[in-house]
Amino acid sequence: MIARVFISGFVQGVGFRQFVLRQAQHLRLTGWVKNVSDGRVEVLFQGPEDKIKKAVEECNKGPFLSEVKDVVVEWENASEIYKAFKIV
């Protein structure tokens, strides 16, 4: 299962990608996280649906200095297998 997640708000420059990386590693999810030029953070989580939902829940909270306004989740079928989770 794959979820593509777009997080908007005050989410760049506050350690959000590092926060997502730690959550994904803790939940043993694979995929990636990156900043988008429009100010959002984009995440691709791959793994069991229940663990992805937990990671998305954490994205709604964000790290200490962030201010999450919106989280959009798009569920997809896996077309690629990721071996680890990384910041890109």
Q: Could you confirm whether 35 is annotated as catalytic? A: yes
Q: Could you confirm whether 17 is annotated as catalytic? A: yes
* pTM over the 0.85 mark: yes
Render pLDDT for 26-57 as a digit per residue (tens, 0 to 9): 999 999 999 999 999 999 999 999 999 999 99
Mean pLDDT of 57-73: 97
The full 3-state SS of 26-76, as one line of letters, equals HHCCEEEEEECCCCCEEEEEECCHHHHHHHHHHHHHCCCCCEEEEEEEEEE
pLDDT recorded at residue 79: 84
pLDDT recorded at residue 78: 82
**From 35, 40, 60, 77, active-site residue:** 35
Domains and CATH numbers, the chain: 2-87 (3.30.70.100)
pLDDT at 21 over 90: yes
